[in-house]
Amino acid sequence: MIILRSILFNLVFYANLIVQMIVLTPFYFLVPRKTAWFVPKNWARSNHWLLAKIVGTTFEIEGLENIPKGAYIFAPKHQSFWDAYALLPWLDDPFYILKRELTWIPLFGWYIVKQRMVPVNRAARGKAMTEVMDRTKNEMATGRQLIIYPEGTRRPPGAPPEYKYGIARLYRDLQVPVVPVAMHPGLFWPRRKFLRFPGHFKVRVLPPIEAGLDPDAFLAKLVEVTEAASDDLLIETVRANPHLPLPPTAEQRLRELGAR
């Protein structure tokens, strides 16, 4: 049943993306930019409904009161494609720094351009990267929220942390709070796999780390608070969902925590 439900969900997931993008395109491009956020946020909400109804996967968010007003950096753990879109409905006016090639995709790229995402040429140095930072500062100055994954790429649940120093540089240069987010969607929507597993998990939004710390001290604090919350949630999630097949990284981490 898990295989059949996973196949069905994957088919409906991408069909939902295509249909909404086509049907709502006139609305998206005719209304003001911020109003147009309704389309991707509605798509995210509909995916939550589909995942719950087809697969049986649900979630809850703790700590929404920790999200500040105005500009900040939103720094979630990154384990799955799920967390690339799932939390958009709870953010006011977010944006990403993303590889410029995504803006070349017909229709999808136009959506990105409309929302003033910041494209970056990963091979570029010097002036090009300065322009990226200038654009990022300009967007933050309007009260937007930068979504960035501190580890840079998807990591399996329980994997040893590999935080990149780039977020410390952004923290130093942008002078805004950073909101850490711990969660384990990768237990239910594993990276590089088509299987989707039923169950329930929590997303934990942690208190913001205010601007003004030394970058090294900031990075150490970010790792400390995020990984502590991640360990707690890993234990909670596995105990609440004993049926889950765990990746080796999660099994190893649970052994280290003495909780398996």
Residue in 63, 47, 73 with CA at minimum distance from that of residue 185: 47
pLDDT at 127 over 70: no
pLDDT at 227 over 90: yes
* Percent share of the chain, pLDDT over 90: 85
CA distances from 17 to 11, 23, 56, 222 (A): 10, 10, 20, 34
pLDDT at 144 over 70: yes
Query: In angstroms, rounded to a whole number, what is the distance separating the alpha carbons of residues 157 and 258?
Result: 16
pLDDT at 260 over 70: no
